[in-house]
């Protein structure tokens, strides 16, 4: 009996100890401070697409540097000036060229990824757009809009309203009528066509279908001139239709090789060059297609500007393998030719150095041009 009693007492003590231990463990777990885990929050996706920058003009202390360019010793073909004119760099740095509407020079700084204009008179600049890999930049005559290609996408910005729009077209050629952009584009399943873009609230509208894969377009005397890009086919007619009556269609110029056309800004004259019987020819015609001047030299539209006067970078030696220049297989060594169609006066400027000249333009500072050889701007005195 005594053993049974001790057994019962021992069992009760064991149960009591287990109960106390369990209660203590429970209380300790309950009062233990829980470690907080970091919460995962889905962050909104950032819009990193560049937008036009609105800011005040900034002083550009190094404009222009006008440092002398080292010249090469090769002998140049003699022109009307006995010695080469002094050519100076406008800036030390390489830039992409966007256009020159004096005094505003539009450039693209590849290092900074900024499109800006430089005021060549008061030496200020203004940043307009941030983005990388910009090319094919073109400014409207009013300076209010700029079209360009960014990472193979075409965009247009309106500087007055700080608005950017992507044009979902591949633009092969274009021209401006004030702020309105007209461009040629080939669209799958639709073919080629002339498109018009003016309203940022709307998409570009088709003006006229054009049966071309890659066309060049120019605007001259209310006419749209259309011809085949020489990179696609060297031979082409020049067709025309009235922009106000695009249904009318006719042959404007007979078939030639390597057509290159540049209308004057006042709409009175048309500079053209082409290849005929192996000879590179250039001339100026008026609105009635009357020949005003035939030159003993020739050049491409890309190497000329035509405001009141025609200014061209002209190869010192006539070269008939013109496609090599377009395909970047050949560089030209140029002089500058200036022709005034009002007075029939012509001046040639020999340069000290080797320059493949693009878009030379007469300004109060001198003739400013872009050198394809090194992507730099240069200035040469003009008297």
Query: Where would I find the H helices in the chain?
Result: 2-31, 322-326
Q: Are 297 and 290 in contact (CB under 8 A)?
A: no
Q: What are phi and psi of 73, to 5 degrees?
A: -90, -5
Residue 210 CA to residue 226 CA, distance in Å, equals 9
How much is the pLDDT for 40? 27
pLDDT in tens, 126-155: 999 999 899 999 999 999 999 999 998 999
Least confident of 133-137, 210-214, 365-369: 210-214
Residue 79 CA to residue 147 CA, distance in Å, equals 38
The DSSP result for 32-101, as a single string, is SPPPPPPPP-PPPPP-----B-----EE-TTS---EEPPPP-PPPPP-SSSSPBPEEES-SS--EEEEEE
Q: Taking the mean position of all CA atoms in its chain, how far away is CA 271? A: 23
Contacts of 24 (CB under 8 A, 6+ apart): none
Selection from 18-22, 35-39, 199-203 with the highest mean pLDDT: 199-203
Domain residues of the chain, as ranges? 50-55+92-150, 168-260, 264-383
How much is the pLDDT for 167? 97
Residue 64 CA to residue 118 CA, distance in Å, equals 10
Residue 7 CA to residue 14 CA, distance in Å, equals 11
Residue 86 binned pLDDT confidence (cut-offs 50, 70, 90): confident
pLDDT in tens, 250-274: 999 999 999 999 999 999 999 999 9
How much is the pLDDT for 172? 95
Query: Which residues share a beta bridge with 99?
Result: 106
Residue 274 CA to residue 55 CA, distance in Å, equals 45
How much is the pLDDT for 217? 98
pLDDT in tens, 339-366: 999 999 999 999 988 999 999 999 999 9
Q: Is the pLDDT of residue 238 over 50?
A: yes
How much is the pLDDT for 248? 81
Q: Is the pLDDT of residue 102 over 80?
A: yes
Residue 335 binned pLDDT confidence (cut-offs 50, 70, 90): very high
Residue 16 CA to residue 21 CA, distance in Å, equals 9
Q: Is the pLDDT of residue 24 over 60?
A: no
How much is the pLDDT for 230? 87
Q: Are 133 and 147 in contact (CB under 8 A)?
A: no
Residue 81 binned pLDDT confidence (cut-offs 50, 70, 90): very low
Contacts of 184 (CB under 8 A, 6+ apart): 171, 172, 173, 174, 192, 193, 194, 195, 210, 212, 215, 216, 217, 226
Contacts of 319 (CB under 8 A, 6+ apart): 280, 325, 330, 332
Q: Is the pLDDT of residue 53 over 60?
A: no
How much is the pLDDT for 11? 54
Residue 320 binned pLDDT confidence (cut-offs 50, 70, 90): low
The DSSP result for 296-317, as a single string, is SS---GGGEEESSSEEEEEESS
How much is the pLDDT for 330? 86
Residue 83 CA to residue 74 CA, distance in Å, equals 13
Please tell me the pTM assigned to this model.
Answer: 0.79
């Amino acid at each position: 009996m005594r053993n049974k009693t001790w057994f019962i007492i021992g069992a009760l003590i064991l149960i009591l100890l287990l109960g106390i231990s369990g209660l203590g463990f429970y209380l300790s777990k309950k009062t233990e401070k829980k470690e907080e885990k970091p919460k995962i929050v889905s962050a909104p996706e950032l819009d990193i697409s560049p937008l036009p920058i609105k800011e005040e003009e900034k002083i550009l202390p190094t404009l222009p540097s006008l440092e002398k360019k080292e010249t090469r010793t090769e002998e140049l073909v003699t022109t009307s000036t006995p010695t080469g004119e002094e050519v100076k760099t406008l800036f030390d740095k390489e830039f992409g060229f966007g256009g020159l509407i004096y005094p505003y020079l539009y450039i693209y700084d590849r290092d900074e990824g900024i499109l800006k204009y430089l005021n060549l008179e008061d030496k200020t600049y203004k940043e307009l757009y941030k983005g990388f890999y910009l090319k094919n930049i073109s400014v409207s005559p009013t300076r209010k809009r700029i079209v360009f290609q960014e990472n193979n996408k075409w965009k247009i910005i309106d500087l007055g309203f700080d608005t950017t729009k992507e044009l979902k077209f591949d633009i092969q050629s274009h021209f401006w009528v004030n702020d309105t952009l007209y461009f040629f584009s080939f669209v799958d399943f639709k073919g080629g066509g002339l498109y018009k873009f003016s309203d940022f609230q709307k998409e570009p509208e088709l003006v006229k279908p054009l049966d071309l894969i890659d066309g060049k377009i120019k605007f001259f005397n209310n006419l749209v001139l259309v011809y085949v890009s020489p990179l696609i086919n060297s031979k082409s007619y020049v067709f025309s239709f009235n922009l106000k009556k695009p249904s009318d269609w006719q042959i404007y110029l007979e078939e030639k090789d390597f057509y290159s056309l540049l209308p004057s800004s006042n709409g009175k004259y048309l500079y053209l060059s082409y290849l005929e019987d192996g000879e590179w020819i250039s001339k100026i015609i008026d609105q009635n297609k009357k020949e005003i001047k035939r030159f003993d030299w020739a050049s491409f539209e890309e190497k000329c500007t035509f405001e009141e006067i025609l200014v061209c970078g002209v190869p010192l030696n006539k070269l008939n393998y013109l496609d090599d220049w377009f395909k970047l297989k050949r560089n030209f060594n140029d002089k500058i030719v200036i022709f005034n169609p009002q007075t029939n006066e012509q001046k040639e400027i020999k340069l000290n150095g080797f320059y493949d000249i693009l878009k030379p333009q007469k300004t109060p500072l001198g003739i400013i041009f872009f050198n394809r050889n090194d992507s730099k701007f240069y200035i040469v005195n003009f008297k």
